[in-house]
């Protein structure tokens, strides 16, 4: 699965004392190929980044920065990328989720969210593709959700 660099220049911090949550957050950001800063929860108020990932139990009362919590950990990386775009208001185009599928022996998949490509990948199993698509469609909100299926014919 390849993720497109629409979030390359943002600053994300992971602020938690939970080793399990830190590891899970860092694995997601590595999958998305996003750099991050390691913080303690008490450092959040002085953090000059764009977004912080943390546990809900460690959230400061006077948080002024955008945040995502541990409830995202079970979501698909593509959904998490879309949620980051929503939180940071990087979504300037139409309120649309566009999914393109190119059938064949290797099924091509391209996902555009708010006019930006957030995933392109290949799948060899229809079942895996369907499971992946259901999680994407359920996890990303949009006024329009469009699925376009090609004919798989490369003539």
pLDDT digits (tens, 9 = 90+) for 125-143: 999 999 999 999 999 999 9
Output the furthest CA–CA distance in the chain (Å, rounded): 60
Instruction: Indicate if 73 and 113 belong to the same structural domain.
Output: no
Confidence check: pLDDT of 123 > 50: yes
Domain assignment of residue 22, given as a range: 12-87
In a domain, 59, yes or no: yes
For residue 93, the surrounding DSSP H or E stretch is none
pLDDT above 70 as % of the chain: 90
Phi and psi for 103 in degrees, rounded to 5? Answer: -70, 160
3-state secondary structure of 16: coil
Q: Which pairing describes strands 37-39 and 12-15: parallel, antiparallel, or unpaired?
A: parallel
In angstroms, rounded to a whole number, what is the distance separating the alpha carbons of residues 90 and 6? 9
In whole angstroms, what is the distance from residue 3 CA to residue 116 CA? 11
Residues 78, 110: one domain?
A: no
pLDDT score recorded for residue 114:
85
* Residues belonging to the chain: 155
**Do 82 and 55 fall within a single domain?**
yes
Q: Which of 98, 75, 80, 101 is nearest to 144 (CA)?
A: 98
Residue 6 pLDDT:
59
Mean pLDDT of 6-25: 91
User: Among all chains, which residue has been given the structure tokens 């064949």?
Assistant: 104
The whole-number pLDDT of residue 3 equals 47
Lowest mean pLDDT among 44-53, 132-141, 146-155: 146-155
**Is residue 41 in some structural domain?**
yes
Q: Count of domains in the chain?
A: 2
Q: Is residue 22 domain-resident?
A: yes
Whole-model pTM: value is 0.84
* One domain, residues 74 and 40: yes
Residues 20, 83, single domain; the answer is: yes
pLDDT > 80? residue 4 = no
Q: Considering the domain boundaries, does residue 3 fall inside one? A: no
* Residue 55 lies inside a defined structural domain of this protein: yes
């Amino acid at each position: 699965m390849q993720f497109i660099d629409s979030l390359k220049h943002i600053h994300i911090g992971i602020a938690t004392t939970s080793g399990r949550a830190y590891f899970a957050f860092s694995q997601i950001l590595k999958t998305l190929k996003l750099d991050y800063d390691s913080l303690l929860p008490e450092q959040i108020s002085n953090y000059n980044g764009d977004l912080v990932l943390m546990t809900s139990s460690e959230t400061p009362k006077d948080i002024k920065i955008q945040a995502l919590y541990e409830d995202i950990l079970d979501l698909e990386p593509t959904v998490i990328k879309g949620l980051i775009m929503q939180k940071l208001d990087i979504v300037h185009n139409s309120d649309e989720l566009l999914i393109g599928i190119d059938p064949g022996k290797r099924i091509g998949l391209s996902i555009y969210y708010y006019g930006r490509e957030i995933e392109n990948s290949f799948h060899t199993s229809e079942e895996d593709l369907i499971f992946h698509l259901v999680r994407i469609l359920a996890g990303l909100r949009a006024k329009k959700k469009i699925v376009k299926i090609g004919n798989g014919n490369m003539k």
